[in-house]
Amino acid sequence: MNFTACYTKIDAGYMGQLLEWPEVITEGGTLDECRAMLIDAANEMAAVYHEDKIAIPQPSIMLEPININLLRLSELRRV
């Protein structure tokens, strides 16, 4: 299964979370470490879901880049 991972830079390194399965979240000192820990966390969560007979969320997120024209700071001050 392919899930969508989201990584956020934090003071301690990186926080990682699966967008389709928000309960799977972890931290790591480096991006590679966080990625490995996220995969491990997903496998551990899958084992718990299987044991408790809970369906694993199916990947269904669609990502799309969009163009947003942000106002310049001077224009924001006039609003």
**Amino acid 64: pLDDT:** 85
pTM of the model: 0.75
Domain containing 52 — which CATH number? 3.30.160.250
Instruction: Give 63's pLDDT tier (boundaries 50, 70, 90).
Output: confident
Split into its structural domains, the chain has a count of 1
Closest by CA to 16, choosing from 28, 7, 3, 29, is 7
Alpha helices in the chain (DSSP H): 31-51, 73-78
Rounded alpha-carbon distances, angstroms, from residue 67 to 42, 63, 64, 70? 32, 13, 10, 9
| pLDDT (tens digit per residue) in 5-60 | 999 999 999 999 999 999 999 999 999 999 999 999 999 999 999 999 999 998 87
Domain with 39 in it: 5-78
